[in-house]
Structure 1
Amino acid sequence: MLILSDKNVRFQAAVMVLILLLLIIVSQISVMRMADDYKRNMIAHDAEIAGYLLGNGLDEQLIKMAFTTQKIAVDQKMGTAVLKDSGYDENTSNFLLPEITGFQQKYAAIALALSLSVSLLLLATFSFFLWKQDKQLNDAGKKIQGFMDGDVSIRLEDSYEDHLSRLFAKINTMATALTAHMEKEKNNRLFLKETISDISHQLKTPLAALQMYNEIILDEKTGNEVVDDFSQKSQRELLRMENLIQNLLKLAKLDAGTIELEKNLHSLSEFLEKCRSTFMTRAELENKKISLVCDQAIRLCFDETWLSEALENIIKNAIDHTKATDSIEIYGEENRLAIEITVKDNGSGIHPDDIYHIFERFYRSRYSKDQQGIGIGLALSKSIIEKHGGTITVQSEWGEGTLFHLIFPKLTNL
């Protein structure tokens, strides 16, 4: 049978068989003791009758023959009739017969003690095996939690011949595969980071040279409108290319997990004001309004450099998708569970087809009028916010504006 292939089950079955054998042996011994006791009681009872008869003048030889000779059915019938006349038959209550009552009580107590002993032994046996199995499962649960917490060297005990060990062996195989996959993924990310870093550094040298050449041309003031116009366009594209390279480098570092945040406690109001002031000149030139509402007492633990990068990308996105006279509103709020930063605008909004993709890298909406963006900013912001233990969500209606929520649970800021 398949169930008997489990060593623990075989051991349990062997223990149960031993207990049952013990019960049979004890039962047989009890029956033998009962028969001996019954014999002693019967002899004692017969002795009492013989003594009574002898004391009343009955012949001793006749008394002996009454107890030792073979009886026939007629004898039993006549004796039964004689005793019945005195009210002594099988219907007589046991309570009127002290010997029977004592015999019954004695062996009822023995049977009860035997039943209780066997029941307790069976219960103790089952409890022991259940405790042992529960301990195995608890130990396995702790080790699995340790594995999930990052200790990939942990493995479950699978050296026994039972179903749990076979299950643990499969879990160990899965853990080994996951560890290999994680290591491979880590190496892939590191390779990606190094590749992008190498490419970016390789691009920086010619890019710096191009910027220098372009600045020289701009400083020359040739007076040629075409040359000046193209020089201005070149400068814009060079700055855009430099920004792209920097963002790619930041994404690569976040992916590879090589960034260690330098988190400190800051005034949220002062931080939001710095981010807001970065865009005030552009907002004034484009006739747009950026407002800020935040309690001065709110404090948040974060890396100012990196969170500035995340929030400024969101504010820039809001400015890019609003027109003249539109407004961007920034709020900082605190409740018992979290600190929330909200960026709201009344611009063009996000099309329903795009709402689930805006945080994907290099995603470009076919409905967007912004032809300059390459789809990195919001993806970078999301990675930075999540690195801080926060979450970012978006609500938007096409043509009605957009609302970004940055939520930082207080437990992550202790």
Structure 2
Amino acid sequence: MRIFINHNIRKLFSMVSIILLCSILIAQVMVYFMTNQYKKEIITHDYAIAGYLYQQDITTDHIVPAFTSKKSIEDYTIGRKLLQPTGYTESINNKLLPEIQSFHEKFEILALILSFVVSLLLLTTLFIFFVWQDRKFEKASEDILSFMYGNKDIRFSDNEEGIVSQLFSSINVMATSLTAHITKEKQTKEFLKNTISDISHQLKTPLTALKMYNEIVQEENTNNVVVDSFNIKSCNQLERMEYLIQNLLKLSRLDADAIELAKSNCLMKDLLEGVVIGFSTRAKSENKSIMLMCNSHIMLNCDGDWILEAISNIIKNALDHTVSRNEVQILCDETPVLICITIKDNGSGIHPEDIHYIFKRFYRSRFSKEKDGTGIGLTLAKAIVEKHGGSITVESTLNQGTTFYLTFPKLTNL
């Protein structure tokens, strides 16, 4: 059996077997001494009966054979008929037979003592074994937690036999593999971080130059409608390119874990009011309204700039998919364990075919090709929310509107 591969299990079973064997030997010795004791009690009883008969003037020629000769079935039958009417049967109370009562009491006490000693030895052996086993697993649990918290040098002792050592050996292999993977992942993230930084600097220079050239061209009075139209379109595309590049860089930095959140306790009403003010000009020009409802005391421990970025992307998406006289609602509430931000619009809604893909990077629905979007804003919003330990979900009904739910556990505020 595989269980006996473990040296400690074999040792435990050996100790238990020795205890049981010793208890059997002790029981046999007890039976031997109890038999001799019982024999003495019977002989003492017979002596008393012989003396009683002798005092009744029965000769020794009749008394001695009564105890030493072999008895027949007829003798047994006659004796039973003689004594049963007086109550001398197998059901007679032991207290009426002092020898039997004495034998019973002695045997009962010895059996109890033997059972107690054997049970105590077995329980002590099992207790010591399981305490040792428990400490071993407790130490293993502490080592695993230590490994999870960053101590990559933790390894288990696997130089023994048995399933536990095989398990520890497998964990050691896994820990070595994870350590190598983590090291490689850190190197990859560092490389990606540096690459992103280089790309950022490389893109900013030509983009800034193009914007400057476009502004110079716009200042020239060409009196050419076609040229002026192209200038406006060029400006719009440059702004779109700048927005896309900035979002890509932000998302890449989040993916590379190259961002350290500067968390502080932010009043959500002040934060959300800043978002509303930022979109008020666009909403007014498009004849749309943005409503905010938030209790003044709600506070979230977060990086305000990044949360502002995430919420702004969602509101921008809402304004992109609403028409004149539509409304965007921003609700902020809290429960004993969560802070919830709800962003709701009554616009075109999301097609059921797209609802599962809206957070996918660069996903563009075939039902919204007329929208001038980049397909990255919601992806960035989701990454920011999850970076803060929160979650984001969406519900939508086609031609009725869309609702985004951002939830943040209050535990992150501690």
Please state which band the TM-score falls in when normalised by the shorter chain. 0.7 to 0.9
- Displacement, 1:341? 1.8
Instruction: Indicate conservation of the 8 Å contact 1:193/1:255, yes or no.
Output: no
- Displacement, 1:306? 1.1
How far apart, CA to CA, are the structure 2 residues paired with 1:58 and 1:269? Answer: 120
Aligned equivalent of 1:314: 314
In structure 2, relative to structure 1, the CA distance for the partners of 1:231 and 1:113 (3 Å cut) is same
Instruction: Indicate conservation of the 8 Å contact 1:347/1:399, yes or no.
Output: yes
Counterpart code for 1:73: K
| 1:336 and 2:336 correspond | yes
Aligned equivalent of 1:112: 112
Greater shift in the superposed pair: 121-130 or 37-46: 37-46
- Displacement, 1:378? 0.8
Instruction: Indicate conservation of the 8 Å contact 2:328/2:343, yes or no.
Output: yes
Trace 1:208-357 onto structure 2 (pairs within 5 A): 208-357=208-357
Instruction: Indicate conservation of the 8 Å contact 2:42/2:99, yes or no.
Output: no
* Identity over aligned pairs, percent: 49
Counterpart code for 1:164: V
Counterpart code for 1:160: E
Trace 1:72-111 onto structure 2 (pairs within 5 A): 72-73=69-70, 91=90, 93=92, 94-111=94-111
In structure 2, relative to structure 1, the CA distance for the partners of 1:341 and 1:54 (3 Å cut) is closer
How far apart, CA to CA, are the structure 1 residues paired with 2:211 and 2:102? Answer: 116
Any unmatched runs of 5+ in structure 2? none
| Cα offsets for 1:349-392 (capped at 9, x unmatched) | 11111111111111111111345322111111111112222221
In structure 2, relative to structure 1, the CA distance for the partners of 1:355 and 1:83 (3 Å cut) is closer
SS at match of 1:231: helix
Aligned equivalent of 1:8: 8
| 1:187 and 2:187 correspond | yes
In structure 2, relative to structure 1, the CA distance for the partners of 1:37 and 1:370 (3 Å cut) is same
> TM-score, normalized by length of structure 1?
0.86
Aligned equivalent of 1:406: 406
Trace 1:23-172 onto structure 2 (pairs within 5 A): 23-42=23-42, 44-45=44-45, 66=64, 72-73=69-70, 91=90, 93=92, 94-172=94-172
> TM-score, normalized by length of structure 2?
0.86
- Displacement, 1:71? 5.1
- Displacement, 1:49? 6.2
How far apart, CA to CA, are the structure 2 residues paired with 1:239 and 1:261? Answer: 27
Instruction: Indicate conservation of the 8 Å contact 1:349/1:396, yes or no.
Output: yes
- Displacement, 1:328? 1.4
Aligned equivalent of 2:201: 201
Instruction: Indicate conservation of the 8 Å contact 1:357/1:363, yes or no.
Output: yes
- Displacement, 1:228? 2.8
Greater shift in the superposed pair: 29-38 or 72-81: 72-81
Count of matched residue positions in the alignment of Structure 1 and Structure 2: 411
Instruction: Indicate conservation of the 8 Å contact 2:340/2:407, yes or no.
Output: yes
Instruction: Indicate conservation of the 8 Å contact 2:196/2:253, yes or no.
Output: no
Instruction: Indicate conservation of the 8 Å contact 2:3/2:162, yes or no.
Output: no
In structure 2, relative to structure 1, the CA distance for the partners of 1:79 and 1:188 (3 Å cut) is closer
Instruction: Indicate conservation of the 8 Å contact 1:320/1:370, yes or no.
Output: no
- Displacement, 1:193? 3.1
- Backbone CA RMSD of aligned residues: 3.3
In structure 2, relative to structure 1, the CA distance for the partners of 1:43 and 1:332 (3 Å cut) is closer
How far apart, CA to CA, are the structure 2 residues paired with 1:105 and 1:234? Answer: 111
In structure 2, relative to structure 1, the CA distance for the partners of 1:402 and 1:83 (3 Å cut) is closer
Could you list the structure 1 runs, at least 4 aligned residues long, displaced by more than 6 angstroms after superposition: 49-60, 74-84, 86-90
Counterpart code for 1:33: F
Counterpart code for 2:319: I
